[in-house]
Chains A and B, each alone.
Chain A
Amino acid sequence: MKLPDLTELAVRNLRESFLRNSLTTIGISVGVASLVAMLSLGIGLQQLASRRLMKSGLFDTVVVTSRRDLRNFGRDEERNAPAPAESRILDEPTRQQIEHLPNVLEASPDIRFITELRYEDKPHLTMVAALPASAQSTDAFESVQGHFFSSDTAPEVVIQKAFAEELLGKTPKSGIDETNVAQLAAPLLGKELTMRYAQRETLASAPSTAAHGSAAAASSNGLADAAYSVVSREQKLKIVGVADLDPESMRGPTRARVFLPLKLAESLHVMQPTDLRELSSAASDQPVYSSVNVRVKSPSQVQTVEDSIKKMGLNTFSILDASRSIQQFFKVLDVFLGIFGSLALAVASIGIVNTLVMAILERRREIGIMKAIGASDGDIRKLFFAEAGAMGILGGVLGVALGWAIGQVINLGTNIYLKRQSFPPEHFWSVSWWLVAFAILFSFGVSLISGLYPAGRAARLDPVQALRYE
């Protein structure tokens, strides 16, 4: 029998016992809906997580440190690394060399120091960090009140919400802090801060000179070039923005309360903790950095960039490994959600078997007649398959629609909740076209498998027996 005839007869038969077949089809569609719902949730959550993480700039960043950096001492990866003598200093030429590596967008030094900031004559001791202009595009600064630095050298600062509270004399509350950033920002924007800091000043001549008298350091082994003096300086800074960042976040540059433009910070030559250590070997007046943040074009190129930086004799760290395990976690989650979703479909497939076996009993005579007038076993089998398949496709389409609707409702509900908790709305639910296609095909496939037994049974029916019953 040809496919159009088969389909026509199948649809006709399905219409004959409309209620029973509708119920079975609804059963399938509930199964498909639960599968679609589960998988959409899994995929949606994964997309949400990776969207967040990508935007955070974590995955395209490589942190480069010198192998001499004591902060990394004793870390696992160090044990196989070359001896510190072979490693190189993370100075300005090295930074430029890194910046010229393929796929590297930017290599910015990580400048951070603890210093005193005066606001309305009250001193506040806090961590200050330099930010490259590119930081503006990451999600950390997308919700800044006021604006980002007007230029890379402007004497401007962006301060953390918590620091703003401190400046205004408010005590930060624990738990969910509902204080509005905008309210905090209003009295502070445009105000001036005075930063007192220790400037490193390279000595031009004799190491013993202490021109400004605050402090002097010189190496005992007579390397006069490496000596410098430390001078106390002040810098006036204008508050241009208040950011709502998590100071404990994983992302390095944001672990500070006050941010300066990078070029400005560089020009200040602020005394860095590493400076003392570099004295023993640094022979030039080039700045030396404790670490450099390298931004890579895409997360997929992080590994190659990391490898080539390691070849230069430097330490690298990226969150790539962490992202791999996150992806693995979501794969496992998807599988589990898929299994639970499929369970409902498995139950529905038993419904198909039941419906079709009932149909055989009911249409026993009809099958006998068809055989008597020349239907082959194959024709009968195909007819039952077509009925199972039609229920499967119909159930699949309905199920996808139902699953999509459930997803929309959950999305809406969650976002209403999020809004009440004053979080930005999120998209948890993702029904992609391939999921739709997969769900319908899967439903079709499961239905055909369910049809195997009834179709085989109908095909084997003995026409003489079938026609004997009145």
Chain B
Amino acid sequence: MSALTPSSGNNTSAINTAAIDTAAIHAEQLCRYYRMGEAVIRAVDGVTLTVRAGEFVALLGSSGSGKSSVLNLVAGLDRPTSGSVTVHERDLAQLSREELAGYRLHTVGMVFQSFNLIASMTLAENVELPMRFAEVDRGKRDSLAREALARVGLQGRMNHRPSELSGGEQQRAALARALINRPQLLLADEPTGNLDSHTGTEILNMVRDFNQQLGMTVVMVTHERALAERYAQRLIFLADGKLVGDESNHPAATDAATNNASVKAGQR
């Protein structure tokens, strides 16, 4: 995948046919309702949007706006009540549970607000875990995990357990794990929510580097508009499960300081 050329289009160009060819994600009248006793909660209510390959998109909205639900649907963790999500021309609604697991394994990498590392495993084991599910050879796994942790600057912490690390370190390890099977899509659910602003910046610099260097499509859920404006090329606003805004954004050029930090972290 080629390196991204900054925002050559906006939401109008996103729905023209030429753009759909390079669409990474396409949601069509996407709905997800939950039943809570008598009441029906419309977490996602008719969202239609297209994310092009290589784009860095931020999903913005207050809590309960349905942004995380959209992310879960795109991640294949949840199935829509109606409508469809197509990722790289695969309609997720048509996939079996087994195929969906394969999709999560190979096509999607996820990072979470609470890091979601497995507490009983060391960092190396955590990073290795998706490769176990992918049945990668043992010898190969070891070097890949080592490499991935080195890329996020944790080469010295391989045999530590998550509880022995700071939040930022844990999120970096989670990033390494998300990228270990070389997915085309990185989905981040409030990745900086549990971090101080400095560490948050550090993480997002890394995400941006992966976006630019590996041409990875990034969808980030956040409620911090400032952070989104700083990194994302496109801001999508959700409220009450509906799409209420979609604007392109020109993120600030990578400043020298953060760039240095990420280059240092990204040493292979």
Query: Using a CB–CB distance below 8 Å, which chain A residues touch chain B?
Result: 1-2, 4-5, 9, 12-13, 16, 365-366, 368-379, 463-464, 467, 470
A sample of 9 inter-chain contacts (CB < 8 A) reads A373-B105, A373-B110, A374-B105, A374-B108, A376-B101, A379-B101, A379-B133, A463-B77, A464-B77
Query: Using a CB–CB distance below 8 Å, which chain B residues touch chain A?
Result: 72, 75, 77-78, 97-98, 101-102, 104-106, 108, 110, 112, 114, 116-118, 120-121, 129-130, 132-135, 138, 177-178, 181
Kindly state the separation between the CA atoms of A5 and B181 in the bound complex, as whole angstroms.
Answer: 17
Most buried by B among A12, A13, A371, A470: A371
A residues in contact with B138, CB < 8 Å: 4
Closest to B134 in A: A374
A4-B138, A464-B78 known; A373+B98 contact, CB < 8 A: no
The 7 closest A-B pairs by CB, nearest first: A374-B105, A376-B101, A374-B104, A5-B132, A369-B116, A373-B130, A463-B77
Asked whether B101 lies within 8 Å of A372 as measured between CB atoms, the reply is: no
B residues in contact with A379, CB < 8 Å: 101, 133
Asked whether A12 lies within 8 Å of B120 as measured between CB atoms, the reply is: yes
Asked whether A376 lies within 8 Å of B116 as measured between CB atoms, the reply is: no
Q: What's the minimum C-beta distance from B170 to chain A, rounded to whole angstroms?
A: 13
A residues in contact with B117, CB < 8 Å: 369
Residue of B97, B102, B114 near A374 (CB, 8 A) is B102
A residues in contact with B134, CB < 8 Å: 374
Q: What's the minimum C-beta distance from A252 to chain B, rounded to whole angstroms?
A: 73
Kindly state the separation between the CA atoms of A470 and B117 in the bound complex, as whole angstroms.
Answer: 13
Closest to A468 in B: B68
Residue of B97, B112, B129 near A376 (CB, 8 A) is B97
Q: What's the minimum C-beta distance from B161 to chain A, rounded to whole angstroms?
A: 12
Asked whether B114 lies within 8 Å of A375 as measured between CB atoms, the reply is: no
Asked whether A372 lies within 8 Å of B104 as measured between CB atoms, the reply is: yes
Q: What's the minimum C-beta distance from A458 to chain B, rounded to whole angstroms?
A: 14
Closest to A17 in B: B120
Asked whether A373 lies within 8 Å of B135 as measured between CB atoms, the reply is: no
Asked whether B133 lies within 8 Å of A375 as measured between CB atoms, the reply is: yes
Q: What's the minimum C-beta distance from A455 to chain B, rounded to whole angstroms?
A: 15
A375-B101, A376-B98, A470-B114 known; A370+B77 contact, CB < 8 A: no
Q: What's the minimum C-beta distance from B114 to chain A, rounded to whole angstroms?
A: 7
Asked whether B120 lies within 8 Å of A373 as measured between CB atoms, the reply is: no
Closest to A459 in B: B97
